[in-house]
Structure 1
Amino acid sequence: PAGIVWKFDHLLDVRDSKFKDDVRMLAPEADEVQVNNLENLVEGALALNTIYRVVRHYYLLGKKTQSFYLILQLQMILPLVMQEAEALVGATKAFAQGQPIGDGIGPLVASKLMRNSEKRKVEKDMVVSEVEIEGRRVLALKAEGPGGNVGKPGDAIRQLIEERSGQVSMVLMIDAAVKFEGEKTGDISEGIGAAIGGIGTERFKIEEEVSKFKIPLYALIVKESIQEAIMPMRKEIAEAADKVISRIKTIIKERTKDADTVIVAGIGNTIGIGQ
């Protein structure tokens, strides 16, 4: 339906604000980084509680109705449910201690690109730094860390493109992606389109903006399981960052010209990863 993206976007902003207000009430002495980490911790605890309530619901419903098939279905999916629950327990520990998680591979790559460069804040909870790569002007973008934060990359990319009146030669997005069983954690794949998860509002903004100015949109993804994405970052994922940077340089060199402007956006939760 027309206009639904902006309605969703507004509701997500309200939800985010409500979570942070509640955290500040519970921990009035916490700084902004701690508030972001605690917000992530609360969300992880809520997800665990939801799993518990759903499993209990079907167990009690099956028991109440004497339905063998309800209990059988619950038993069949229980190994997967337990995998998710164990991952969330690991995630809550990471959020409590401010450790980087698997989903932070995008911000980690952007952080490495913008190291020792001047940073500035852009749209909500995002930072950008201008660096030179292969003779190109690269705008490295990530959520502001090291607190648990994903920011609004759609708004930030739109702002950067509008500031330059559409004179951007490429947008390259880096993110984690769910791997199939049998695939190796840390493998890198290249594709096209907006590499970003969530409800879809940020994806819409990015695709709308690049379509408006006919800017090529590419993606590099690092493969990991759903569990690895929310648990403390594994060695294989962290080591993939330098390989991604090497691929970024190759793509920029092959598909842009000298002095072109390129946006490289590291997408994901930047907990434990600064600028």
Structure 2
Amino acid sequence: MELIQFGLFGPEEGSGIINILFYIIFIGFMLFGQKIMILQTVWRCEAQLVKIKKWDNQASELMFKKIKQKTKKPVTKEIKQNVRNFMEFFISSPVDIDPFGIVKKLEHVMNRSENKFNHFIEKIVPKLKKEDKKDVKFATMGAMGVHQVYKILNHLIITLRKTSNMQIMLILQMYMPMLTKMAKSNLIATKAFLDNIPVGDAIGPYIAAKMKTKKGVELDKDILVSKEKIAGKTVYIMKAQGPGSALGKMGDAIEKLHKKEKIDYMITIDAAGKMEGEKTGSVAEGVGVMMGGIGVERSKIEDVGVKNDIPIDGIVVKMKSEEASIPIKKEVFDASALVIEKINNLVKESDAKKILVIGVGNTCGIGNCQSELNDLKEKMIPIWKKQKKKELEEKKKRKSLVYKIFGSPDEDDEDLGF
């Protein structure tokens, strides 16, 4: 009787060997597949961790370089050690089991945090100008952001190695691209603050300054307000004092202004996160206080509105979350014209007699009125050219097979973009 061989691909010669190899691979994958996936994840994440560690060191070095440039003195070992020690600074959020009074608790903690930062800056660069100290303070925050991302990823990778836990592996795979972008944007923000370059979050203060014909008066710490006339109505325009990096305490300033002038309509302007598919620089209108952050200043503004029955509208300029902390993009910068047009329309259509326009955001690199913005566009043009070139390179990379297999071009990009 003729024997018939049954193989994976039929009775051809050699199919038995193919069968054996197939079963060996299949059994091997069943036994070691999870371990292989974990090792692959660890390998890829460790490659990114090396890069983020480099960015962590680079952020500190950028600070040391700027301090040396501004003080015209070498940076001592003591200053370097103080900076590295301060990278471990953290804030413990207050208990919120009982939500009553949580805003005051948060404000107390944040005030203490700000005092700590100010004391640290006075300690390492006591002779720097006020505006330069503000820039160094926010640059320190950017450097701390890079350091914290590094620590989180390092913790997850070590834990995954120790436990071989699939859930941790999935967390790393999901969050690795986002955390890498976050670390990169914080590094870029560090350099931007040190160089006094406006970031995406500065769009609110920029629009406010563009509408101000004069600097105005300091109503509260780091908060300026000027009285303007638009469509025959009295309009107060408020922003943080620049061009140094500052956010200011908008809530207290608005409360003081209302007690004095009886504001009956408020318009807030800020940057906002966009969804995938939306264009950077697109503009949207809404109601309520357009303001991010922990919520203390926003709560105070809402309290003023609620207690005095003041309608509050808002206009936002949309961008990616990482674009808020990198040098302001041309699309965002150019959106200011449309925002001002919308503000003017809101003022004309309103029955209010005294209106407050609030430019929310970090005022790094932004002057306080029209005359202080004359050189800003020229300053930004070389940066916009580099950003455009980088975008074109990324589009090209996205079409490549390497990108489709290994992920985002951001993961392999060392250029800070300016």
Q: Name structure 2 gaps, 5 residues minimum.
A: 1-98, 369-418
Of the three residues 246, 258, 263, the one matched with 1:149 is 246
Is residue 287 of structure 2 the alignment partner of residue 171 of structure 1?
A: no
Of the three residues 222, 242, 245, the one matched with 1:125 is 222
Is residue 295 of structure 2 the alignment partner of residue 200 of structure 1?
A: yes
1:252 matched to which residue of 2? Answer: 347
> Cα deviation per residue 1:177-231 (whole Å; 9 max; x = unaligned)?
0000110111111110011111111111111111111111000011011111000
Is residue 361 of structure 2 the alignment partner of residue 263 of structure 1?
A: no
2:19 matched to which residue of 1? Answer: none
Q: Comparing 22-31 with 135-144, which one deviates more in the overlay?
A: 22-31
Of the three residues 227, 231, 256, the one matched with 1:134 is 231
Q: Give, in angstroms, the shift of residue 162 of structure 1.
A: 1.1
SS of equivalent residue, structure 1 residue 250: helix
Please give the residue correspondences for 1:17-36 in structure 2 after superposition, counting only pairs within 5 Å: 17-36=115-134
SS of equivalent residue, structure 1 residue 168: coil
Of the three residues 268, 284, 290, the one matched with 1:189 is 284
- Report the structure, 1 or 2, having the larger helix content: 2
Q: Which whole-Å CA distance do the structure 2 matches of 1:240 and 1:215 have between them?
A: 27
Amino acid at match of 2:224: V
Q: Give, in angstroms, the shift of residue 7 of structure 1.
A: 1.9
Q: Which has the higher contact order (CA 8 A, sep 6+)?
A: 1
Does the 8 Å contact 1:134/1:252 carry over to 2? yes
Runs of 4+ more than 4 Å apart:
none
> Cα deviation per residue 1:38-66 (whole Å; 9 max; x = unaligned)?
01111011111100000000100110113
Amino acid at match of 1:172: I
2:109 matched to which residue of 1? Answer: 11
Amino acid at match of 2:361: G
- Report the structure, 1 or 2, having the larger strand content: 1
Q: Comparing 223-232 with 71-80, which one deviates more in the overlay?
A: 71-80
SS of equivalent residue, structure 2 residue 220: coil
Amino acid at match of 2:228: V
CA RMSD of aligned residues (A): 1.1
2:163 matched to which residue of 1? Answer: 65
Q: Give, in angstroms, the shift of residue 8 of structure 1.
A: 1.1
1:47 matched to which residue of 2? Answer: 145
> Cα deviation per residue 1:2-33 (whole Å; 9 max; x = unaligned)?
22211211211111111011011111111111
Amino acid at match of 2:354: T
Q: Which whole-Å CA distance do the structure 2 matches of 1:203 and 1:44 have between them?
A: 23
Q: Give, in angstroms, the shift of residue 34 of structure 1.
A: 0.8
Does the 8 Å contact 1:111/1:274 carry over to 2? yes
Amino acid at match of 1:94: A
TM-score (norm 1): 0.95
SS of equivalent residue, structure 1 residue 36: helix
Q: Which whole-Å CA distance do the structure 2 matches of 1:250 and 1:135 have between them?
A: 13
Q: Give, in angstroms, the shift of residue 76 of structure 1.
A: 2.9
Is residue 258 of structure 2 the alignment partner of residue 161 of structure 1?
A: yes
Q: Give, in angstroms, the shift of residue 89 of structure 1.
A: 1.5
% of aligned pairs identical?
A: 37
Q: Comparing 125-134 with 61-70, which one deviates more in the overlay?
A: 61-70
Does the 8 Å contact 2:240/2:246 carry over to 1? yes
Q: Give, in angstroms, the shift of residue 245 of structure 1.
A: 0.8
Amino acid at match of 1:32: K
Does the 8 Å contact 1:194/1:207 carry over to 2? yes
Amino acid at match of 1:55: L
TM-score (norm 2): 0.63
Q: Which whole-Å CA distance do the structure 2 matches of 1:271 and 1:118 have between them?
A: 16
Does the 8 Å contact 1:118/1:130 carry over to 2? no
Q: Which whole-Å CA distance do the structure 2 matches of 1:75 and 1:22 have between them?
A: 37
Q: Which whole-Å CA distance do the structure 1 matches of 2:215 and 2:249 have between them?
A: 20
Q: Which whole-Å CA distance do the structure 2 matches of 1:187 and 1:256 have between them?
A: 28
Does the 8 Å contact 1:169/1:256 carry over to 2? no
Q: Which whole-Å CA distance do the structure 2 matches of 1:4 and 1:184 have between them?
A: 36
Q: Name structure 1 gaps, 5 residues minimum.
A: none
Q: Give, in angstroms, the shift of residue 67 of structure 1.
A: 2.3
Q: Which whole-Å CA distance do the structure 2 matches of 1:76 and 1:212 have between them?
A: 44
Amino acid at match of 1:262: I
Q: Which whole-Å CA distance do the structure 2 matches of 1:256 and 1:223 have between them?
A: 29
Of the three residues 183, 199, 208, the one matched with 1:101 is 199
1:274 matched to which residue of 2? Answer: 367
Does the 8 Å contact 1:184/1:223 carry over to 2? yes
Is residue 321 of structure 2 the alignment partner of residue 226 of structure 1?
A: yes
Does the 8 Å contact 1:41/1:95 carry over to 2? yes
Q: Which whole-Å CA distance do the structure 2 matches of 1:41 and 1:118 have between them?
A: 26
